[in-house]
């Protein structure tokens, strides 16, 4: 018998043995194998289903945002927040409650906070802005600054000051950074924390001498020096 034929027969035998073992494993664990396969099918199917469901929810939320945003731009903050039964429109509050996992609902939280502020309720405005997911980059600066203002309005000056600092350093630039540093310095002054107030006023003078806030920062430093 040639070596080639012997090799072929050995390989054939190995294949048969491997198949036999696999068949035996399958026969002894048929329920487990089928169950595992079914679980994988359900996981994959569920993931695909969730993807399409999420996209559908996002589209619906974005459509409804148009109605609420129109009222917001017209300064009808109550209608923007709660919608109108007469006009069959929904507001930011309904979008937040019914489409909570969408990007549109996240944006609605920010708009709802501004609406509550304009309606005179700083506490509700703060609750909404606390639930808002702040975006990276320059787009996140204004919401943080707004949150700091709400905290200041509620007399939480230290927390306000720290939030202003966060806003200043969220995306450093020659415009929003010195503005928020100055607000932080003023809030620290209100909190009775003179050294922190000086620190951020000096940051403006030293690092942003051409900013429109430098004069106010210098005045604050003078006031703080006299007060000691």
- Residues in the chain, overall count: 228
**Residue 207 pLDDT more than 80?**
yes
Summarised one tens digit per residue, pLDDT across range 37-69 is: 445 444 444 444 433 444 667 888 788 888 899
- Report pLDDT for 32: 54
The domains found in the chain, sorted by start residue, are 134-228 (1.25.40.10)
3-state secondary structure of 65: helix
| Span 23-47, average pLDDT | 50
- Report pLDDT for 86: 84
pLDDT band (50, 70, 90) for residue 222: very high
Tokens of 74: 């017209």
Cα end-to-end distance, the chain, whole Å: 108
Among 197, 176, 202, 199, residue whose Cα is nearest residue 185: 197
**Residue 193 pLDDT more than 70?**
yes
Distance, in Å, from the CA atom of 209 to the CA atom of 202, rounded to the nearest integer, reads 10
Report the range of poorest mean pLDDT among 79-88, 103-112, 158-167: 79-88
Distance, in Å, from the CA atom of 189 to the CA atom of 158, rounded to the nearest integer, reads 9
pLDDT band (50, 70, 90) for residue 28: low
| Span 193-211, average pLDDT | 96
**What's the whole-model pTM score?**
0.75
Three-state DSSP string of 91-111: CHHHHHHHCCCCHHHHHHHHH
Summarised one tens digit per residue, pLDDT across range 145-177 is: 999 999 999 999 999 999 999 999 999 999 999
Where would I find the H helices in the chain?
3-28, 30-73, 77-82, 92-98, 103-118, 122-131, 141-153, 157-170, 176-190, 194-207, 214-227
- Report pLDDT for 202: 97
For a pLDDT cut of 90, what percent of the chain falls above it?
63
């Amino acid at each position: 018998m040639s070596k080639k034929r012997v090799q072929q027969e050995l390989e054939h035998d190995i294949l048969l043995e491997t198949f036999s073992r696999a068949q035996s494993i399958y026969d002894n664990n048929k329920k487990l194998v089928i169950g595992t396969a079914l679980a994988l099918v359900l996981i994959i199917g569920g993931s695909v289903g969730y993807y399409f469901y999420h996209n559908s929810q996002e589209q619906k939320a974005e459509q409804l945002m148009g109605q609420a945003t129109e009222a917001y731009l017209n300064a009808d903050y109550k209608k923007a927040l709660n919608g109108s039964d007469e006009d069959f429109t929904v507001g930011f509050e309904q979008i937040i409650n019914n489409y909570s996992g969408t990007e549109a609902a996240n944006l609605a939280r920010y708009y709802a906070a501004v609406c509550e502020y304009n309606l005179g309720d700083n506490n509700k405005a703060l609750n909404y802005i606390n639930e808002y997911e702040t975006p990276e980059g320059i787009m996140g600066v204004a919401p943080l600054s707004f949150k700091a203002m709400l905290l200041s309005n509620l007399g939480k000056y230290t927390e306000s000051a720290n939030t202003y600092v966060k806003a200043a350093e969220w995306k450093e630039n020659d415009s929003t950074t010195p503005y928020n540093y100055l607000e932080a310095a003023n809030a620290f002054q209100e909190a009775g924390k003179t050294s922190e107030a000086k620190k951020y006023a000096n940051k403006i003078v030293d690092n942003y001498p051409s900013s429109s806030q430098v004069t106010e920062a210098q005045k604050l430093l003078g006031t703080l020096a006299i007060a000691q």
